[in-house]
Structure 1
């Protein structure tokens, strides 16, 4: 029997790239034993499952980040023995990288940016379907010798803590431009005919335009202001006795798209991509953000050919949500669109749909970026990949004690699978592993069988693991 408590030094709700993740593990054994080793891991994984395949349910999993921290002799008891009834405390520390190594994805640069968590927490609405997950897990494993006379007789005690990471990056130019094209003045525009009567006769042309929307700030209570310009040009007989259309309401909605595929995505998916890619799944959710009533007096007639109306709409993210920043990865992607619809009393309407981004508070992101070796310029500049020191901390299997040999084989397979654009098999550490052998990789068949741990039935355990400190007795 052993009681333990894993505690993080910071009580913040989430971490951003460049921030340290530090804490300590306190344990107290009920019986004296010889410590063979104590190690910590920070693991980032992307996983998905889908029923769209003709073969039934398929799933895929990729481990894009793995960082190790091994307790040194100075952190453990001097003689390597944990005595019964004596409490011990071992510190650990990680720093979230700004970018991933090229081995994470060699074909699409935007896939090497650290993705945010999509862990399906039910305390707030993060618009995460059960079919897609991006998780960051802090794992630890204590190895003790069952028989002091045998060096290979080990027993392992392990557990994990789910962390929440919010990462946002400046949009890249890997794929096609989403949304309508910009005008010469750098604005987004759409046009349509205004019709009236039973025969729906055309009486004029409506034009709606707006500047590219500023990004939302993650979990911010401050509204973002969007300026809209609406124009109406009468046509035909309507020019003789022009009558401006009466605006019923201006509505703004946010659409969240979560894309997931068992195959590595080498393109930027859109709402219609599933028509060409049969393996691609998409989960869509819409949020009503604002509704504004505008009077007829708001129209101006400065130009004899058309009427104009300019207004500003305050928009903020819906209360009770924690929508992750948009991102691209090999298996899972998240995108947002802002839909602005102007409805008229005649029953006509005009809509403009534009891409929009969600980002972390710039001050916090800049402070974290400045504290890491990868920081260059401000937080949204392109950041170089970690060099030798980060490469050693992320993918060096020699730092993981007794599991170095199996991990070396796993990493070789992982690199080979990435080169083949297949879903990588990753080393897996069981949550509880008494008498367990060194970790081995999961095949696709094993992943399909175990993907049920991402179902709704497991969210209670995940929510329990999100606390900054937890304790147990085994």
Structure 2
């Protein structure tokens, strides 16, 4: 009898535990395709419905629907084993829900389905308080308050079979998520808020990015090489024939289309390589061979906010405190340029000028080499098309507080000289190139600068609003406000030290030459 009653009580307890499960919360996005992730850009509207069902009557107090953007980094320590990192919530939009949308009393009844519509508008910029750390100039603050793209977060591509590869290391990630959290206040005196259920749905955000002015590259920056000189020899272990000069300027940016998955959509630009040959005597210029092009994607990440635009010098200086760099190269094309013709000039035809002056024009002439002392030289130009492969996913050039992505175009040129049968000499350049993102045709008007004070920002974005749930069907939708979060949103995680065996395995660090 005792054994039987004990078994009965156990079954009853197990039944109550099984029956009283957590509320089921589901997020349905408008235009959602099974197995794929929705893609949005600046000004796009994210619409959807949160559906809640329960298998027993459940008391609750509030449903919070938010659109969040977070950034996370993890950096290997060089001074001691382990790693350090940082986490930042740079965006948090909150959907206002009117009290009339909730049941009265606030009890979810079993067998009923409750729907709460939501709508968010992808903003163009972040609020000023997001980037509150020390900065060297205003240009850094402007870049850090631009919306960064989804970065390093594997998602299914449009074919539903392959994961997106955006050339990002495992040490950093930028994610966007629509989150629904069902809350219930504590009955005690502490006033704490408990979570009955919480669910999130990822979305991919590729913001519109406009073209920036060409970079002013310092001599210490090893990521780029926009001019190179090299001796041209008659053959192995033979004398010099002259000196070749190769220059190029920053090409027009590659403009991405964030929401286009059309196989016929081609994203490309062109780069012009200018050549000059200064002979020692009456030698003819070398015959050109092949041009190889590669796109180098460089990611900077840090456990501390960047006070300036990152560079290789900054990585070397701050390596001990948690900063890293990762570069991956993607082959683009191989092109034969043997048909390129050299043009003969005399020193009277073109006066001395800076080597990069007007190099964007096909008529410009590179400056003379360091050993030029004659009156005759030769020039040539090679136009190299740059088309991004569809096997990889590319994000626009961006700079944020913790993570940055820049690109460079590597161009290698081979040439042939008499009696050089063993090795084919080559020379290469690394020029900066931007990846931008074109806005949608129906995007809102951009580039309108409005000067406002911090008090006006607080009044506009931190004041609660009340909007009835039926507003989702109205043609002109006002985006929800930023949530009233005044606490620091940049949380360096310096206390977490892991043994080397548990650290992330990056894709193999490759530094620029």
Q: Does 1:38 align with 2:52?
A: no
Q: Are the equivalent residues in 2 in contact too, given 1:339–1:354 (CA < 8 A)? A: yes
How far off its partner does 1:343 sit? 1.2
Alpha-carbon offset, residue 283 of structure 1: 0.9
| Counterpart position of 1:9 | 30
* Residues 153 and 224 (structure 1), Cα distance of their counterparts in 2 relative to 1, 3 Å cut: closer
- Do structure 1's residue 271 and structure 2's residue 338 form an aligned pair? no
For 1:96, the equivalent position in structure 2 comes to: 122
Q: Which runs of structure 2 are paired with 1:236-251 in the superposition (5 Å)? A: 236-237=280-281, 239=282, 242-251=283-292
Match in the other structure for 1:466: none
Provide the C-alpha distance between the structure 1 equivalents of 2:191 and 2:118, rounded to a whole number of angstroms. Answer: 26
State the 1:292 CA deviation. Answer: 0.3
2:443 is paired with a residue of what secondary structure? helix
CA distance in 2, matches of 1:259, 1:272: 12
Matched, 1:137 2:206: no
Q: TM-score normalised to the size of structure 2?
A: 0.68
**2:177–2:203: 8 Å Cα contact kept in structure 1?**
yes
Distance in 2 (alpha carbons) for counterparts of 1:367 and 1:389: 28
Q: SS state of the match for residue 129, structure 2?
A: helix
Which of 193, 209, 215 is the equivalent residue of 2:253?
A: 215
Q: Matches of 1:94 and 1:32 in 2, distance apart?
A: 30
Q: Cα gap change, 1:78/1:456 in structure 2, threshold over 3 Å: closer, same or farther?
A: farther
Question: What residue in structure 2 maps to residue 290 of structure 1?
Answer: 333
Q: What is the distance in 1 between the residues matched to 2:378 and 2:217?
A: 29
Asked whether the 8 Å contact 2:84–2:497 carries over to 1, the reply is: yes
Match of 1:206 among 244, 250, 271: 244
Q: Which has the larger radius of gyration?
A: 2
Corresponding residue number in structure 2 for 1:424: 491
2:165 and 2:393 in contact (8 A); partners too: yes
Give, in angstroms, the shift of residue 111 of structure 1: 1.1
TM-score calculated relative to the size of structure 1: 0.73
Determine the structure 1 residue equivalent to 2:276. 232
2:153 to 115, 120, 139: 120
Are 1:354 and 2:431 counterparts? yes
Q: In the superposition, relative to structure 1, how do residues 398 and 59 fare at CA in structure 2: closer, same or farther (>3 Å)?
A: farther
Give the aligned CA root-mean-square deviation in angstroms: 3.7
Matching residue of 1:26 = 51
Higher share in helix: 1
SS in 2 for 1:97: coil
Q: 2: CA distance between counterparts of 1:152 and 1:120?
A: 33
**Cα gap change, 1:386 to 1:170, in 2 (>3 Å):** farther
Tell me the distance in 2 between the aligned counterparts of 1:282 and 1:357.
Answer: 18
Q: CA deviation at 1:244?
A: 2.8
Kept after mapping to 2: 8 A contact 1:42/1:136: yes
**Secondary structure of the equivalent of 1:411?**
coil
- Assess if the C-alpha contact under 8 Å between 2:254 and 2:269 holds in 1: no
Q: Which of the residues 405, 413, 426 maps onto 1:334?
A: 405
Alpha-carbon distance change, 454 to 30 in structure 1, aligned in 2, over 3 angstroms: farther
Contact 2:54 2:110 in 1 (8 A): yes
Contact in 1 for aligned 2:211/2:253 (Cα 8 Å): no
5+ unaligned residues in a row in structure 1: which ranges? 182-187, 400-406, 416-422, 426-442, 458-474
